[in-house]
Chains A and B, each alone.
Chain A
């Protein structure tokens, strides 16, 4: 094996920033649509569903890229608790990117609603229609969305902490390619 890399692979960086935009948009769209009774509710919902499926497809590609490319190590002098927090928060982010679209899809299925992406594309139902299952999934979709949002805020704050205060290579490894 060659020496450890100092930057994420270009495809990994592209997927990170593309999905960062998509996921943050998704969280705002979700929060906005459930708090609106105007026409916004309908058009946000019509973006939310296909965008969620797009995130599901991309996170699968991203996991493959993650396991097949080299990732830069964290700085050797990073305190152990920060290294652990970094590791755990990344697991949480990957798990939520994968779980949230699946829970959304399952939730619509459990309500007995056709899973429509736009006017005429219908995905199959992935769980049987059941009111209690729906209520549980709907709650999970909401509370995990808040967990997702808070984890992203912590991730962003930590990235800025690396870039502005520690001034190590962590932020640069995702912002740029090799210098």
Chain B
């Protein structure tokens, strides 16, 4: 080929067909690369569950609430600190587990898809926490007042959302869909058994919150231990309070509880035995697993979420300090990816959130 000859000015001219053929060759190179890119970014792969499609599912099933989180949109900011007792320092090299205080910005929330849901709309509450270590690394985690997750995979979770979504015509879920979904997903049985007994609590601070997903603690010597964690209230006086009937009792109760004094929780790590499933949040670990009480979470302030410090935090479960790692649970990567898409959409809409705070506050 002439390609390897030194440049010269007397090359024989190309015929028209040669030129067309070479132009077609250039076009083919461009089309192949652009096509590969369009496949990778999902354009040519419409079946793939992408972060955007996950968030679209929430927006479609819940309705549009600009500026709000796409899931658990109703909530309240809280702040305080974690007082480590040092017991977990042997398991994890993360600074948060060394003795001493780590500041925390958190958010209690209702696990519905509508920021105007009444507080008794669901028998579950959620808590998101951000610990900021002295070295600037952070630990963010979301915990829910349920012992396990209904399903183990992102695809099953989206199918569950679609099976239980309200039909736009009737305003209620298609009665045939949930039973069909649960029959096709036997892994939901333990969750279904639990939720039959669950009641909406009268307070955020009386609930036990569980990570549901597994993580891996990494010790200074490199030793790895799979764990799940729980945030357990230390004061359980009001556990039996009946659920009030008004719409927004949780925020009011939280303010009252905090006015009476800081609210304290234990951070309890449950250590997996070899062979316990770390990749399936729908499977509980046996109740006899060893636990370590890592210290006390003290919450002493609350703020409305529309202008509170928690508003602009994406509680991505894979924002982790050195010494804590994600496990092989596929829900972790899915949550991280979908939260990023939700965060991008809602941060674009923060102006709309400021414009309509009156809608949220009901006297």
Q: Does B350 contact A (CB under 8 A)?
A: yes
Contact of B347 among A32, A122, A131 (CB under 8 A): A131
**Which of chain B's residues have a CB closer than 8 A to the CB of A179?**
6-7
Looking at A49-57, A81-89, A91-99, A107-115, the stretch in contact with chain B turns out to be A107-115
Closest Cβ neighbor of B67 among chain A residues: A131
> Nearest Cβ in chain A — how far from B174, in angstroms?
26
- Interfacial chain B residues near A42, Cβ < 8 Å: 318, 326, 332-333, 336
| A167 close to B2 (CB less than 8 A) | yes
* A37-B7 in contact given A111-B314, A112-B313, A134-B347 (Cβ < 8 Å): no
B241 at the interface (CB under 8 A from A): no
Q: How far is the CB of A100 from chain B (nearest CB, A)?
A: 16
CB closest residue in chain A, given B158: A37
Contacts of B42 in A (CB 8 A): 35
B277 contacts A by Cβ under 8 Å: no
C-alpha spacing A28/B350, complex, angstroms: 30
Q: Is the CB of B336 within 8 A of A41?
A: yes
Q: Is the CB of B34 within 8 A of A35?
A: no
Instruction: Tell me whether B19 and A114 are in contact (CB under 8 A).
Output: no
Question: At the interface, yes or no: A119 with Cβ under 8 Å from chain B?
Answer: yes
Contacts of B322 on A, CB cut-off 8 Å?
119-120
Report whether B347 and A27 are in contact in the complex, using a CB–CB cutoff of 8 Å. Answer: no
B34-A135 in contact (CB<8A): no
Is B121 part of the binding interface, using a Cβ–Cβ cutoff of 8 Å? no
Q: Chain B interface: which of A9-17, A60-68, A153-161?
A: A153-161
Q: List, in ascending order, chain A residues with CB within 8 A of B338's CB.
A: 37
- B291-344 interface (Cβ within 8 A of A): 311-314, 316, 318-319, 322, 325-326, 328, 330, 332-334, 336-338, 340-341, 343-344
Quick one: which of B7, B52, B337 contacts A41, CB cutoff 8 A? B337
* Dominant SS among interface residues on chain A: helix
B176 at the interface (CB under 8 A from A): no
B14 within 8 A of A: yes
Residues of B within 8 A of A130 (CB): 312
Query: Are A164 and B26 neighbours in the complex by a CB distance under 8 Å?
Result: yes
C-alpha gap A164/B14 in the complex (Å)? 10
Q: Name the distance in Å between A72's Cβ and chain B's nearest Cβ.
A: 11
Q: B49 touches which one: A37, A120, A122 (CB < 8 A)?
A: A37
Verify B311–A35 contact, CB threshold 8 A.
Answer: no
CA–CA, A17 and B338, complex, Å: 35
Q: Which of A33, A113, A165 contacts B23 (CB 8 A)?
A: A165
Given the known A-B contacts A113-B319, A179-B7, are A165 and B37 also in contact in the complex, defined by CB atoms under 8 Å? no
Question: Is the Cβ of A156 less than 8 Å from the Cβ of B29?
Answer: yes
Given that A34-B51, A114-B137 are known contacts, is A164 also in contact with B25, CB under 8 Å in the complex? yes
- A178 → chain B, closest Cβ, in Å? 10
In whole Å, how far is A126's beta carbon from the nearest beta carbon of chain B? 13
Question: Is A135 in contact with B319, judged by CB distance below 8 angstroms?
Answer: no
Contact with B along A1-27 (1 / 0, CB 8 A): 000001000000000000000000001
A37-B2 contact given A153-B33, A157-B30, A164-B22, CB 8 Å threshold: no
Residue of B nearest to A116 (CB): B137
Question: CB within 8 Å of B: which residues of A?
Answer: 6, 27-28, 31-42, 111-114, 116, 119-120, 122, 129-132, 134-135, 138-139, 149, 153, 156-157, 160-161, 163-165, 167-169, 172, 179
16 contacts between A and B (CB under 8 A): A28-B37, A34-B41, A34-B337, A35-B51, A37-B337, A38-B330, A39-B330, A42-B333, A42-B336, A119-B322, A122-B135, A131-B347, A135-B350, A160-B25, A164-B25, A165-B19
Interface, chain B (partner A; CB < 8 A): 2-3, 6-7, 11, 14, 19, 22-23, 25-26, 29-30, 33-34, 36-37, 40-42, 45, 48-52, 54, 135-138, 154, 311-314, 316, 318-319, 322, 325-326, 328, 330, 332-334, 336-338, 340-341, 343-344, 347-348, 350-351
What 19 new A-B contacts, CB under 8 Å, besides A37-B338, A153-B30? A28-B37, A28-B40, A37-B50, A37-B154, A37-B337, A113-B138, A119-B325, A131-B312, A131-B347, A131-B350, A134-B312, A134-B347, A135-B350, A138-B344, A153-B33, A157-B29, A160-B26, A161-B26, A164-B25
